[in-house]
Amino acid sequence: MPRTPLVVGNWKMHFDLDRATKAAIQLKNVLGDLKSSVDIAIAPPLPWLVPVEAAFGRTQRLELAAQDAVPGTEGNETGSVSMGMLRDHVRYVLIGHSERRLGKIDTHETINAKVKDALRRKITPIVCVGEFVHLYDRSRRRGRPTKLEAESNIFMQLRRALRGVKREEMSKVVVAYEPVWAIDTGTPAEPDYVEIMVATLRRAIAKLSSKRIAANTRILYGGSVNGKNAADYAARPGIDGALVGSASRDPKEFAKVVAAFASK
């Protein structure tokens, strides 16, 4: 079964309501009628999720992702928003983004609980994995982390995120490979490097589940992807899409990334 490319725009903590709505309308105008088989999702800041949903209207092309959510439906958890509350609004949820891992807002345990709860509620988890910051610091002294360091770090994250997830559910998980040193730095990881890491991630998924499931699992790349470099990643057979930060805040630029993967 071919893997449908997926391009996700993560607006992070940007945009006021007016700009969010305008960007949503622009995206709808540019991408709403796209016929090709590429899945597209936008992760707006939480308060703008419903207004963006309204701006997208009935378009089938544009879906929504949550930037985060906690397991459960209701509870005495001041400040939290649950998977259950978001279930009718989003198709995807980002889990374990490095900006949350690094601030220790998310741990391996909370990430694992979120993945399981999202699956239970039929929200597709997009599990972000990437080299931790101490490797990044080391990398500043002597280049990148070694392949071995990076791999063991990422596999540990993956293993712990998927702990207890049933084999047959694993193919519903999307994995985003996001090396921390490439996020919002304007220094994307080279496509060659990403291809190797994605292939090793796929082997790790096969070990946790099966070759067939790994072959069906979508693995995205994220880290300074933009309209100019997207085609270089889309050209690699193992890279199934992109998780886009900065460039997703410019609808035209984001549309270029989508177009690169649409012609995959």
What is the contact surface with ligand PGA in residues (CB under 6 A)? 10, 178, 183-184, 222-225, 243-247
Three-class DSSP category at 159 = helix
> Nearer to ligand PGA by C-beta: 247 or 258?
247
> Nearer to ligand PGA by C-beta: 123 or 243?
243
Query: Catalytic: which of 97, 99, 131, 151?
Result: 97
169 contacts 205 by C-beta, under 8 angstroms: no
Query: Catalytic: which of 53, 151, 178, 253?
Result: 178
> Nearer to ligand PGA by C-beta: 10 or 217?
10
164: tokens are 């207890």
> Nearer to ligand PGA by C-beta: 43 or 123?
43
Which string of b and e fits 134-161 if b means at least 16 CB within 10 Å?
ebbeebeeeebbeeebbbebbbebbebb
> Nearer to ligand PGA by C-beta: 125 or 222?
222
Residue nearest to ligand PGA (CB): 245
CB 209 to ligand PGA: min, Å: 25
CB 33 to ligand PGA: min, Å: 25
Residues 6+ apart with CB under 8 A from 126: 8, 65, 92, 93, 94, 95, 174, 175, 176, 220, 243
CB 14 to ligand PGA: min, Å: 10
Residues 6+ apart with CB under 8 A from 209: 167, 170, 171
Integer Cα distance of 129 and 177 in angstroms: 5
CA-angle at 92, arms to 204 and 236, nearest 5°: 50
CB 183 to ligand PGA: min, Å: 4
Integer Cα distance of 146 and 179 in angstroms: 13
CB 35 to ligand PGA: min, Å: 26
Integer Cα distance of 220 and 154 in angstroms: 14
- Please confirm, yes or no, whether 178 is among the known catalytic residues: yes
- Please confirm, yes or no, whether 89 is among the known catalytic residues: no
Q: Could you give the residue numbers annotated as active site?
A: 97, 178
